[in-house]
Amino acid sequence: MKGSTKSNKKYLILLLIVFLLALAIGYAAFSDILTISGTANANGTFDLEFQNAVVDSAVGCNTTETKATISADKDTLNVVVKDLAYPGAGAQFTVDIVNVGNIPAKITKLTPTNLTGSDSIKISGLDAITTSHPTIAAGGKCTVTFTVEWDANSTAELTDEEKSGIAFGLEIEYSQDTTDIFNGTPAHSDS
């Protein structure tokens, strides 16, 4: 009996080793490890600026002192209309808005800031850009023409300060154009 106990132990150990090997091979055969690594970089630039500002025409004001100048950072157009003489007097300006970034930008508004003058001063043409050029592609531009005038229908008198000069800054409000979006198709295949 002693010999058969030893023999049974050997079979039991051998059976245990075979079982463990089968378990390890089965686990290896049915396990699948997927490792994904990567890096996403956001290297876009998002910037619109004013360029090429000119006074197209001026009537009933000082044409020498009526100006449109671009700030050093090109984010503000400074407009001055000098010496308005009567209702209907004013000037017309043209300026380019250029997308110097590499992300399409949607102009939402051109906003006059620090406007001096009364309700009798009328600025026209600034809202046309949101309908005629809603998006400027990277490297693209659009041209804006607008007028500043003493309202021709006004019966109010301008103050001496207002007559001597209307001044304001013009700033661009814009957002990222998200109409072009990435539409990738994820997939998986086993070989």
Give the pLDDT confidence of 16-70 residue by residue, as tens digits. Answer: 888 888 887 777 766 666 667 777 666 778 889 999 999 999 999 999 999 999 9
DSSP of 56-78, one letter per residue?
A: EEEESSEEEEEEEEE-TTSSEEE
What pLDDT is stored for residue 65 in this prediction? 93
Q: Is the dihedral of CA 176, 182, 183, 187 positive or negative?
A: negative
Cβ atoms 110, 129 nearer than 8 A: yes
Q: Cα(186)–Cα(2) distance, rounded to whole angstroms?
A: 66
**Which of the four pLDDT bands, split at 50, 70 and 90, describes residue 71?**
very high
Residue 33, number of CB atoms within 10 A of its CB: 4
- What's the CA gap between 85 and 67, in Å, rounded? 17
3 state DSSP class of 84: coil
* Candidate ranges 23-32, 81-90, 177-186; pick with highest mean pLDDT: 81-90
- C-alpha dist (Å) from residue 180 to 20, 97, 135, 137, 183: 56, 21, 11, 11, 9
pLDDT 10s digits, 92-101: 999 999 999 8
Terminal-residue alpha carbon distance, the chain: 55
Best mean pLDDT range from 20-24, 106-110, 118-122: 106-110
Q: Which of 30-39, 72-81, 87-96, 166-175 has the lowest mean pLDDT?
A: 30-39
The residues spanned by each domain of the chain are 48-176
Which residues are within 8 A (CB) of 52 and not within 5 positions of it... i.e. 6 or more apart?
A: 94, 95, 96
Contact 118, 63 (CB under 8 A): no
Q: Cα–Cα distance between 80 and 123 in angstroms, integer?
A: 12
pLDDT above 70: residue 106 = yes
Distance CA 78, CA 70 (A): 6
Percent of the chain at pLDDT exceeding 70: 82
**What CATH number belongs to 48-176?**
2.60.40
**How sure is the predictor about 163, in pLDDT bands with cuts at 50, 70 and 90?**
confident
